[in-house]
A and B are shown apart, each in its own frame.
Chain A
């Protein structure tokens, strides 16, 4: 027999390569950004709001690693502290929309009659409104700041989760194991919340991870057009907005750094979301 047996290195590599290098990098990026944002007050070299008019629009150097903005504020410190509002918003939106979406999707998927149809149509109508437009409406109604856009975004992102959940529930409830629970006489709420819901979490979680990236970009855009976080609070979107004047004057860096961070984080979160969804069998398109 010429079949060579037992090459343990290959077997080992199968497990360590379980996560692709790209996914590893994405996880690392997100972990670092989150950690830095959380500990920003301790880590930041300068007070992010300290104005130093003698040192405006400085290039990167030993004193200011990434340079300063038009008011002489340290860009690195503002980026680090800005991460807190920039990440907090999407986190709240994703948590809120996932929770609401799961509940509504479960209800819509489980009810055969008109309730399911009505909910399904309601999701479709919500889909028709772009998240940014809803947020601008909310700002017009409730005023500028972080609260109104977060509520609006949460509502705007509910249908993404709810539609997915509804579809999953409809296919799951037709499965023999769910029917076996019914024949065994278990009560519907117990089956739905205790048994079916946990089986949906991985798929819905993947969708929510993807949503996180979109929300981050949307909220940054809101801050950029001046409807989100208000000065002088540091926020990545707001930082880009504040740098518009400098940008026209030929100073690219104050806008470039926050833009770069937004892009990197959005891409990293998307990579993680895709990885999760690949792993659970590509149920998301």
Chain B
């Protein structure tokens, strides 16, 4: 039997431009889990799609991509159809994008069985239910009659995995299948994929930007950069003893929890008021049909001047609501929020109050592509803030903006650049400069590095640390990533379903969590295969 997946010297690109993929060679054997690791634009998705014969329109290519000896680059469409039905299945990042929202889960799962495998509707439904149970979904016989919107993202991804497994594929292609999911959900999906792959003896090609995740699931790793394979080998070797400079950087930039690197809790100055004190703060939203949603439930904490507090939680935990309350984008429903010496009123802020608040607290948002005004050149965006807050004239404001941008690593040649001409990391630096131009005392970072590649994230985090020390900023860092918190925050606050479940010094909480949810959160972090036996669950 010929090799399961064999890619030889695969090059792909468009005429007149640099190739997107440049001489890629890799292989996946039966029963083997292989990771394809790379940052955005490295070509990992293109490579995987080519495996199913999905090539960008009008692209030119050379080399071979063979699945069981069938070259998908030259195969006829009938052969490709056979390949996709019988040999290879793919799971995508966003499960909701791949399922018809108006048809039931059962319809989705049984369609191929009825149309191509000639099963009757009843038989097909029975198989679908079996398969759903196998991927760990309970009440499967009811689930098949439900619609996608009634399922959570994690459940839906299990449905997609079930659909992929129904075809009994020999090769399973996974394109970042857990990136859109919470950490605890991700842990379940990863275990499921690993178990199924082992039990069925499938070959698996797992695409991810996350080295930790790759090492928790795959024996072998290919590291991609700019369309080339930079390094490959056993996951353990690549991860622990990287040969290439780029891989070393990537491993170094990948966030990990290192308890000895956690910043120390600053010594409280006697008699000094905390910069932020929150007492029984709640936020309710009125929903249609008279329901109320409690996004934040009785939060109580203080943040001393010069401190750094990490707010950790999964989606829906209320961490972003807390951040938005602090910066005044939301109005508290109950409780008190005291910033400096000012109590926050329980009504929307007036223009004058907003301007005063701006000098105390600023925020950097998650998405670097949406948080800058697309029409305004970055230098002028920063200069505008100087003119508003520091009462500077046009000239002086531009000079100040140039200096501040230089400090966050944006050179003067980019002063007149529009945001779209900048990379994600550069945009986030500009957003940081814009916030700092108001000279706030407290800086809120709302998942400010989550959308960035790991190497860029590491640089931005370094910059934040540097600025914090230079400017004496107090930091409120909202994130889902415990590793990032361990690096930047001396104190941490864990949130779950709108409530603070645990808070205290970062080092203590990570080493000895007191709450079940915190333990679960820490335990859900991907752990390398070779470490499984050594480390016992904390």
Indicate if A111 sits at the interface (CB-CB under 8 A).
Answer: no
Contact partner of A184 among B19, B62, B351, B438, CB < 8 A? B438
Indicate if B362 sits at the interface (CB-CB under 8 A).
Answer: yes
Interchain CB contact under 8 A, B375 and A198: yes
Interchain CB contact under 8 A, A177 and B388: no
Interchain CB contact under 8 A, B354 and A11: no
Interface residues of A toward B: which range?
20 to 34
In the complex, what distance in Å separates the CA atom of A7 from the CA atom of B13?
13
CB distance from A99 to the nearest CB of B (A): 20
Interchain CB contact under 8 A, B370 and A175: yes
CB 8 Å contact bits of B8-50 with A (1 = contact, 0 = none): 0001110110010001000000000000000000000000000
Interchain CB contact under 8 A, A7 and B15: yes
CB distance from A112 to the nearest CB of B (A): 9
In the complex, what distance in Å separates the CA atom of A11 from the CA atom of B15?
8
Interchain CB contact under 8 A, A177 and B329: no
The majority secondary structure among interface residues of chain B is: mixed
Indicate if B149 sits at the interface (CB-CB under 8 A).
Answer: no
Indicate if B328 sits at the interface (CB-CB under 8 A).
Answer: yes
Given contacts A4-B60, A186-B388, contact A176 B15 (CB under 8 A): no
Interchain CB contact under 8 A, B355 and A185: yes
Given contacts A1-B11, A180-B365, contact A187 B60 (CB under 8 A): no
Contact partner of B358 among A4, A184, A199, CB < 8 A? A184
Quick one: which of B55-69 are within 8 Å of A by CB?
60-62
Interchain CB contact under 8 A, B60 and A180: no
CB 8 Å contact bits of A61-72 with B (1 = contact, 0 = none): 000000000000
Quick one: which of B362-398 are within 8 Å of A by CB?
362-363, 365-367, 370-376, 384-385, 388-389
Interface residues of B toward A: which range?
35 or more
Indicate if B405 sits at the interface (CB-CB under 8 A).
Answer: no
Indicate if B434 sits at the interface (CB-CB under 8 A).
Answer: yes
CB 8 Å contact bits of A4-41 with B (1 = contact, 0 = none): 11111011000000000000000000000000000000
Given contacts A1-B11, A175-B370, A198-B375, contact A185 B16 (CB under 8 A): no
Please provide the 7 A-B residue pairs with the shortest distance between their CB atoms, ordered closest to farther.
A185-B358, A185-B355, A176-B371, A176-B365, A2-B62, A11-B16, A7-B15
Give 25 CB contacts A-B under 8 Å.
A1-B23, A2-B11, A3-B19, A5-B15, A5-B16, A10-B16, A11-B16, A176-B367, A177-B370, A179-B329, A180-B363, A180-B371, A180-B435, A182-B329, A183-B329, A183-B354, A184-B358, A184-B388, A184-B434, A184-B435, A184-B438, A185-B355, A185-B356, A185-B359, A188-B351
Binding site for B on A (CB under 8 A): 1-8, 10-11, 175-177, 179-188, 195, 198-199
